Amino acid sequence: MTTAAIGIHPVAGALGAEVSDVDLARPLDEATVAALRQAWLEHLVLFFRDQALSPAQFLAFARRFGEPIEYPFVRGLDDYPEIIPVLKLEHERVNFGGVWHSDTAYLDVPPMASMLVAREIPPFGGDTLFANMYLAYETLSDGMKRMLDGLVAVNSSAKADASRTREDRMKDRAREAARDYVAAHPVVRRHPETGRRALYVNVAHTVRFDGMTEEESAPLLAFLFQHQIRPEFTCRFRWRPGSIAFWDNRCAQHHAINDYRGHRRLLHRVTLAGDTPKGP
């Protein structure tokens, strides 16, 4: 497979690109992987269509970009523990990941990236939104940037209980070792590969600023939570069976829309190991 055959098609002004003319079930050469990574760094999230990947092939594709790691709250597939099922059943009212967030910001070393492949999709609904945290930071006033550049945010897995995503409701029966996680990270994160600054707080996990109470932190956090998901910072992806989304957790947030009551939705997710967030 040659890199010349790959098409990169932006889907929105803020972020996101669909990749055409690539079969991820086949071995990818180094030049193709490099081209995909460059496109991923530029567009923050890549989308692929009509990829018939077995779990083993999906995991092999993920390994070309990083180290797959197990998720702390949800048990993976029996033969592939690094792959977790993202499932909402017909009778369930709350979905998995149905709140704006960066994956597991409550870990000391949050993941670099996540990948989803669609297995079963409802006849309508179930789209996923993505938002560009570079733009969220860059569009702030100079005064706000100066203030945020020196702040650290406290993130907790316990906060997600308020949103009651399926992901968090499963934790008690997923692993006996599951517990609440708390981690402090810079509010403004410098991307280790691009060098760009990104806003790194999210409504699902960020509790307060380090050195402040929750009450003192709440007004500024409320502003940031609304600002970072302005429509012009986002894109929307409609799933089909065999679709894949691959996003950069260091500079993008996502939100799974819960608008398909009475229908089943199943995707498989792989998470890639990251690095300790560094400030500006």
Q: Which of 43, 119, 250, 269 is catalytic?
A: 269
Q: Which of 254, 255, 265, 268 is catalytic?
A: 254
Alpha helices in 170-256 (DSSP H): 171-174, 214-227
Is 269 an active-site residue?
yes
Q: Which of 101, 119, 166, 185 is catalytic?
A: 101
Is 254 an active-site residue?
yes
Contacts 24+ apart (CB under 8 A), 257-260: 257/98, 257/125, 257/126, 257/127, 257/128, 257/129, 258/88, 258/94, 258/95, 258/98, 259/124, 259/125, 259/126, 259/127, 260/88, 260/122, 260/124, 260/125, 260/126
Is 103 an active-site residue?
yes
Q: Which of 103, 197, 265, 268 is catalytic?
A: 103
The DSSP letter of residue 136 is: H
Tell me how far apart the alpha carbons of residues 274 and 47 are, in angstroms, rounded to a whole number.
21
Is 142 an active-site residue?
no
Tell me the helix, strand and coil percentages in the chain, rounded to 5: 25, 25, 50
Indicate which residues carry an active-site annotation: 101, 103, 254, 269
